[in-house]
Structure formats: C-alpha cells, structure tokens
C-alpha cells in the first residue's frame, strides 16, 4: 500500500514509515471516518461492528492554510461527548514551510 495523496491539493505524501505497509504520511495527517449520520454517500450500519472506514490524508500545509475549517475536539466523558473549539495550531504556515524546507535540504 502506498501513502495517499493530500485530499485537498493532491500533493504526493511520502510515508513516515516506509518499511511498513500502511498509510502513515510524513508531513500530513490521516483521517478515518466510520460513517456519518446524515451523510448521503457513506453511513454503514452503526449497529454492527466497524468493518468499513473511509480514509483520507491532508498535508500539514493544507491543514494550516485552512485551520478555520478545522475543529479541535476534546472528549468530556464517556461515549460521544466532546467539546469543540476552533483549532489553534502551535505553528503558522510560514514557520512550517521554513522548518519543512530545512528538514528536507539535508
């Protein structure tokens, strides 16, 4: 299995662990969805064990550029109880670009 490209910009993402056969992007995040009540395209039966997932990757640059579209969820109890707030990453897209280029020059 190869690492999926970025869902938003289609950037090729290298594997963070090339010795293993799974989707583990370097400079990206992998997201999984077991379905979504209300979706008209993917909502498997929620009363059966999870056997199907949708998986997509977003590169770090797209996450940072679109942070206003990302919520940070914190579990507040058992089950599906979360609080949601706007995601405030610890780094700006400009600082990330500098860091990323420095890391890949070596």
Please list the pLDDT of the chain residue by residue as tens digits (106 residues): 678 999 999 999 999 988 888 899 999 999 998 888 888 888 887 666 778 889 999 999 999 999 999 999 999 988 778 999 999 998 888 898 888 888 887 6
pLDDT at position 1 is 66
Placement of tokens 């700006």 in the chain: 92
Contact 58, 67 (CB under 8 A): no
What's the pLDDT at 106? Answer: 60
SS3 for 45-87 is CCCCCCCCCEEEEEEHHHHHHCHHHCEEEEECCCCCCEEEEEC
- Give me the residue spans of the domains in the chain: 28-105
DSSP label at 37?
A: T
């Amino acid at each position: 299995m190869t690492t999926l490209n970025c869902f938003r910009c289609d950037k090729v993402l290298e594997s963070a662990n090339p010795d293993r056969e799974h989707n583990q992007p370097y400079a990206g995040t992998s997201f999984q969805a077991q379905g979504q009540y209300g979706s008209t395209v993917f909502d498997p039966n929620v009363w059966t064990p999870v056997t199907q997932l949708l998986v997509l990757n977003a590169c770090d640059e797209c996450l940072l550029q679109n942070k206003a579209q990302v919520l940070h969820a914190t579990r507040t109890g058992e089950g599906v109880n979360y609080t949601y707030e706007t995601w405030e990453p610890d780094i700006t897209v400009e600082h990330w670009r500098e860091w990323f280029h420095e890391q890949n020059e070596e």
